[in-house]
Amino acid sequence: KAGVTQTPRYLIKTRGQQVTLSCSPISGHRSVSWYQQTPGQGLQFLFEYFSETQRNKGNFPGRFSGRQFSNSRSEMNVSTLELGDSALYLCASSPDRATGANVLTFGAGSRLTVL
């Protein structure tokens, strides 16, 4: 069973540019969530998508956005990049069970460097 696939793995952008990151969840998983990991702030929840709808949102500015497609694949976009956006962006998928805890399976991440 293939895991969560994130592309690209590494990318370098300059301030003011925008970036789109892609995430393919595990087959059958309908929930996709995104996290930002930085040395200073640690792991922070960005947003979660389920059935093409944003179900939950973290405390990030509107420059951070996402979407989910009908095949559950998800993209996140960051516009007007700032130096502080340099981070590892992690995508996670889960089966979204009706009971019990939804266990997240994480991808390897996309490491964004903003110069």
Partner 1 sequence: AQSVTQLGSHVSVSEGALVLLRCNYSSSVPPYLFWYVQYPNQGLQLLLKYTSAATLVKGINGFEAEFKKSETSFHLTKPSAHMSDAAEYFCAVSESGANSKLTFGKGITLSVRP
- DSSP one-letter code for 73: -
Q: Please, which residues have CB within 8 angstroms of residue 100's CB and are 6 or more apart in sequence? A: none
**CB nearer partner 1, residue 2 or residue 98:** 98
Q: Is 21 in the site for partner 1 (CB under 8 A)?
A: no
Category of 71 on φ-ψ map: left (φ > 0), alpha (ψ -120 to 50) or beta:
alpha
Is residue 102 close enough to count as binding partner 1 by CB under 8 A?
A: yes
Q: Looking at beta carbons only, is 9 or 15 nearer to partner 1?
A: 9
Q: Say whether residue 94 binds partner 1 (CB under 8 A).
A: yes
Q: Which residues bind partner 1 (CB under 8 A)?
A: 4, 31, 33, 35, 42-45, 48, 55-56, 58, 90, 92, 94, 96-109
